Amino acid sequence: MRIGVVAPSTPIRSDVAEAVTALAAAHAPDVEIVFHPQCFLVHNHFAGSDAARAEAFVTVANDPAYDALWFARGGYGSCRIAEDAIARLAPAARAKAYLGYSDAGYMLAGLYAAGFEQVAHGPMPQDVRREGGEAAVRRALDWLGRREAGSLEPSLDGQAKAAAFNITVLSQLLGTPLQPALDGHMLLLEEVSEYMYRTDRAMFHITSNPGIRQVAGIRLGRCSLVPPNDPDFGETEEQVVRHWCERSGIPYLGRADIGHDADNKVVPFG
């Protein structure tokens, strides 16, 4: 079992790779993790130029020696390469799993839109730096290595289709070629570091989209590090999401166990 790590958004430091490698050696000795050197490149905001990030992603995705492609971390930048890079993928790329969240959502969306069948929202190597983050990395390894059911978000019943996204990321890919068909899916959403008025605005955008209105329902993960709204927004994140679900006729299904934190569970798409 070999996992290739690439960074289509922002770079990781070598100590993150070392910590994850050591953790994997102890927890899942059958798993080999290869951090592509591109993970450590720095070009302005990004882990290397658009070309370097796309090349690393395409190389690992198309290499049959890898069973999985693991996104190193979020940040910002994968939307700049997603459409073109996914168009360059060969049949071998369809045989592997893809795992990440946050800004990696552009890649997950585009892969799922292109019919890839092993795409999942879940922890990334950079999470090892969170408090309790080793558990998140182990959870990811358990899913990547042996599809461990204990890694999964608990509301997933194995019957209904599902997908998960950061709220801002999903909003910002609506109407682009990256938007996947999500009709009949349970849609799990989470957010971090956004003012409540922005989450409200993004939920207007998401729930006004004709494609999104075809989902089976929305579950709300954690919204963390919300800056204080001035003036007070007067509604919690759950009230905001309920409001837009009611306005748009989308069933609100309750909370989800995902978020920008160490407890973030795995949500396989489909």
Residue ranges that bind a copy of itself, judged by CB under 8 A: 42-45, 76, 79-80, 83, 171-178, 197, 200-202, 204-205, 208-211, 229, 231-235
Between the CA atoms of 251, 255, 261 and 264, what dihedral angle is there, to the nearest 10 degrees? -80
As measured in angstroms, the least distance from the Cβ of 260 to a copy of itself is 17
| Nearest CB to a copy of itself, comparing residues 211 and 217 | 211
As measured in angstroms, the least distance from the Cβ of 103 to a copy of itself is 9
| Nearest CB to a copy of itself, comparing residues 79 and 256 | 79
As measured in angstroms, the least distance from the Cβ of 209 to a copy of itself is 5
The pair of three-digit structure tokens given for residue 24, joined into one six-digit string: 């994997």
| Nearest CB to a copy of itself, comparing residues 29 and 228 | 228
| Nearest CB to a copy of itself, comparing residues 139 and 205 | 205
As measured in angstroms, the least distance from the Cβ of 173 to a copy of itself is 7
Q: Strands (DSSP E) along the chain, which ranges?
A: 2-6, 32-35, 68-71, 97-100, 119-121, 162-166, 186-192, 217-224, 252-255, 267-268
| Nearest CB to a copy of itself, comparing residues 50 and 134 | 50
Q: What is the DSSP string of 63-77?
A: -TT-SEEEE---SS-
As measured in angstroms, the least distance from the Cβ of 231 to a copy of itself is 6
| Nearest CB to a copy of itself, comparing residues 135 and 197 | 197
As measured in angstroms, the least distance from the Cβ of 195 to a copy of itself is 9
Cβ pair 92, 62 in contact under 8 A: yes
What backbone phi and psi angles, to 5 degrees, belong to 236? Answer: -75, 170
Amino acid at position 3, single letter: I
The burial of 210, by beta-carbon neighbours within 10 Å (0-12 exposed, 13-18 middle, 19 or more buried), is given as: exposed
Helix 14-27 vs helix 133-146: angle between axes, to the nearest 10 degrees?
Answer: 60
